[in-house]
Structure formats: structure tokens, C-alpha cells
Amino acid sequence: MSCYWDIYCKTCDECLVDCNVNHGEEDLLRVCLDVIPRLIRLAKLRPGLEVSLESLGVFSTCGNERFLRLGILIGHEDHVILPKNEYGAYVAECGESRKCPTCGGEVICRAKRGHPGDHELFNRYVSSKDRQR
């Protein structure tokens, strides 16, 4: 089953690169943790520069964007930049979805992947409405 990933600012919940990498979260995570912090510093000097995702070791892009535009990184200094999948879960999050017993909307577990306990506690979930912001 396919699972597509994009590069997001978790702090702002904003998509930075709509790349739709199929099952490439490990490559995207490496880029987010190792490369993007360096590129943020470069972005201030060369905001118009575009870096190919392939040149960063990300090969399975299916989406609209195959380049990281450095200008988009300005303003995200000291923010958490992580891959986020098409279902709304960030990498290393559980991502289990359920229906909220109160409103009936979809909610996603934000606890760490493999966390102890069941999914009956809704305090670790975020609603689909909150994810769209």
C-alpha cells in the first residue's frame, strides 16, 4: 500500500515541499534533520536558489515539486521540520486514526510510534480540522 510523504514545518504545520515521496520517509527525515538546517542559513544569502531533491538523495518523488526552494525556508529557523504523510501523521508518530466519540470527526494519535497503551484515550489525538490549519 502506498504512503506518500512531504516536507512540513511541524511548528507551523505548513507544507514546505509538496514532493509526495512514496515510502521515502527515511530519506526525507535525513534531509530534514541533516541538510535543511544548513540550507536555512544559505537561504538568507540565496533565497532564489533551488536544490534538487535527487541531489539530496531523495529519488522516489511523485508530486508537484522535485526541488526545494530555499526562500521557503526563511522564517522557519529553529522550527521542527519533519516529513508528514498523506494521512496527517509526522514521521515517528503513531498515526492511528479513530472517530472522535464527541464530534464524530477523524482524529490521529500524535504519540510516538509503538507507544504503550491503547487508543481509547483521546487526549493524544489531534482532529482532522486542526491538521488542516
- Distance (Å, whole) CA 24 – CA 31: 11
Which pLDDT score, from 0 to 100, does residue 128 have?
Answer: 46
Q: What is the pLDDT of residues 81-110, one digit of tens each?
A: 999 998 888 887 777 777 777 777 777 777
Q: Is 101 helix (H, G, I), strand (E, B) or coil?
A: coil
- Distance (Å, whole) CA 101 – CA 21: 33
Q: Is 68 helix (H, G, I), strand (E, B) or coil?
A: strand
Alpha helices, DSSP H, located in the chain: 25-30, 36-43, 128-131
Evaluated on CA atoms 29, 30, 33, 36, the torsion sign reads negative
- Give the pLDDT band (50/70/90) at residue 119: low
User: What is the pTM assigned to this prediction?
Assistant: 0.74
Q: What are phi and psi of 67, to 5 degrees?
A: -130, 150
Q: What are phi and psi of 85, to 5 degrees?
A: -90, 170
- The three three-digit cell numbers of residue 9, written as one number: 514545518
Q: What is the pLDDT of residues 20-71, one digit of tens each?
A: 888 888 899 999 999 999 999 999 999 999 999 999 988 776 767 889 999 9
> Judging by beta carbons within 10 Å of its beta carbon (0-12, 13-18, 19+), is residue 84 exposed, middle or buried?
buried
> Does residue 76 register a pLDDT over 60?
yes
